[in-house]
Structure 1
């Protein structure tokens, strides 16, 4: 009985570990990073030039969008093995986000100019929604009532997931990363061309404020407690820390060369930044606002995703 209890406890602890998944664009691979030790514990071969990583809401699968492969690689989080390679998602798929209530996920295609809608169980393409060229980001609102697509050419497009029809378009050109306040009342969008971040009211889509950050901001993430927003400034080798209430810059943290992707642990204690030009990931302590570790990855790390909070309750985060 004791042996069985011990095995059950070890299984539970293993399931509660936090991992970051990092796409290495020019290695055609995905690095698996154990956040408890900040060590790379595995490398998975995926499609050509993977540019983003995403984790299903239940934490069971990892998805990479493969820019040159024009595909999505689906990986088991339990075995770290490829389950499926999904085709038919246009030319240079660029990102992914999920709607668990609709059992869907959404993938924008940079050159095809469409948002692809896929079934979360079967990985089949269900619809293709024309949006415009240069699609680079996608985000499903916290209440899953809207899908937002960012673009360097078409601005911000808002889609009704019930009908898969465009509801509105905001002419904010050079829009890149997008994230939401935890309550869904606001959303934040990087403006890569104007070196700024815009904050919008989610109910009216009214621009509330625009704040200057570093050069060419790409990755963006809001903390789970709603207090901070972190922005990766790709041409400034830095991360801007913004106060979510006043939306002013509180700190600027030096990281590696060409910071691209950014993610935060569920406990809001660590921020992880991929440094595309340095082949590293910077680990930021959010209390001290400083880099506490630098981890070597594959060649040109770009996308990053961290185990979702429902798999973790205050462990290593």
Structure 2
């Protein structure tokens, strides 16, 4: 009995030595760098120089590399997250803005706003394998969880273009509100959420039929409707919430995905743009372009708990989760 007790204590002590660290990587458009935020300390711990006008940022599957849209350098840069050095570049076409990774981890998609194309890149060979003509000013990108579809929103054409990832051909188009920005698939592959910046709305599209089944319009007391401009969308992993950045309205809308009702509006920094949830979904980070900071929202309390200064015009954000023993 005593031996079992001691073994139990040893097991517990080993568990207690495991701590989770998280770091948010924030692209700063005007500073040509990335601010790294330690989420435990809730402060910027370093800045990493990258190409000109960094915007979209994503990680590979094991979070060892970051892919960064250096828009004015006309490149996607590859950042080694361990050495914090740029270790490669991918040909992206002109002015890459947003970026998405196929579930197979081998293919990257990026939107080229000025050329009205979607560029498809093979990571291993660093070669462009397709360039697909889409609507005017392509912006938001998303790949379906099953990897069969990639969608791109076109700001001027006001459409969502549905592309078969096997053939790299457009198979359908869905008309949405004015200046569509972000697109996010649900984890079950059933629905696509799309924001329309000038239209002031978010729609939910049925993936099977490619038709809109729900529209959300946002009204914030004391704020003119022209300032309510939905951009970034983040869907919680548990299927309960959708968070929508409302741009110059300086708020994040909280939507209950079970009741499909808007529950709350949270005041954040100026011109909130993109969003990211941490690993356990307890914190939501927002990039606030005009105020040059990141807001941290406690998801359980639905309250902003911290504002962290980063750089000039923060745009994208991605969060790395590390288990240390």
TM-score by length of 2: 0.87
Indicate the residue corresponding to 1:71 in structure 2.
75
Indicate the residue corresponding to 2:149 in structure 1.
146
SS in 2 for 1:68: helix
Kindly name which structure, 1 or 2, has the bigger radius of gyration based on alpha carbons. Answer: 2
Alignment check: 8 A CA contact 2:103 2:146 kept: no
Instruction: Choose 217-226 or 114-123, whichever is displaced more.
Output: 114-123
Indicate the residue corresponding to 1:20 in structure 2.
24
The alpha-carbon deviation at position 97 of structure 1 amounts to: 0.8
Q: What are the superposed Cα offsets for residues 7-45 of structure 1, whole Å, 9 maximum, x if unpaired? A: xx9xx968x532211100000011112222222222111
Alignment check: 8 A CA contact 1:90 1:111 kept: no
Instruction: Choose 112-121 or 139-148, whichever is displaced more.
Output: 112-121
Distance 2:118 2:21 in 1: 33
Distance 1:153 1:180 in 2: 22
Matches within 5 A, 1:89-238: 89-101=92-104, 103-154=106-157, 155-172=159-176, 173-213=178-218, 215-238=228-251
The alpha-carbon deviation at position 85 of structure 1 amounts to: 2.8
Indicate the residue corresponding to 1:4 in structure 2.
none
Deviation beyond 2 Å, 4+ runs, structure 1 = 120-124
Distance 2:28 2:131 in 1: 28
Distance 1:198 1:100 in 2: 24
The alpha-carbon deviation at position 102 of structure 1 amounts to: 6.4
Instruction: Choose 105-114 or 29-38, whichever is displaced more.
Output: 29-38
Q: What are the superposed Cα offsets for residues 151-176 of structure 1, whole Å, 9 maximum, x if unpaired? A: 21231011101011111111224111
Q: What are the superposed Cα offsets for residues 49-102 of structure 1, whole Å, 9 maximum, x if unpaired? A: 112111112211111112222111110111211111333x22211111111326
Unaligned runs of 5+ in 1: 1-8
Indicate the residue corresponding to 2:35 in structure 1.
31
Distance 2:274 2:266 in 1: 15
Distance 2:74 2:303 in 1: 37
> Kindly tell me: are residues 58 and 122 of structure 1, through their superposed partners in 2, closer, same or farther at Cα, counting changes over 3 Å?
farther
> Kindly tell me: are residues 35 and 289 of structure 1, through their superposed partners in 2, closer, same or farther at Cα, counting changes over 3 Å?
same
Indicate the residue corresponding to 1:270 in structure 2.
283
Distance 1:101 1:50 in 2: 25
Distance 1:307 1:122 in 2: 26
Distance 1:13 1:184 in 2: 34
Count of aligned residue pairs for this structure pair:
299
Distance 2:105 2:289 in 1: 34
Alignment check: 8 A CA contact 2:134 2:154 kept: no
Distance 1:148 1:45 in 2: 31
Q: What are the superposed Cα offsets for residues 192-228 of structure 1, whole Å, 9 maximum, x if unpaired? A: 1111110111111121110112611111110011110
Distance 1:236 1:186 in 2: 26
Distance 1:57 1:148 in 2: 20
Answering whether residue 90 of structure 2 is matched by residue 86 of structure 1, we say yes
Alignment check: 8 A CA contact 1:55 1:62 kept: yes
The alpha-carbon deviation at position 297 of structure 1 amounts to: 0.1
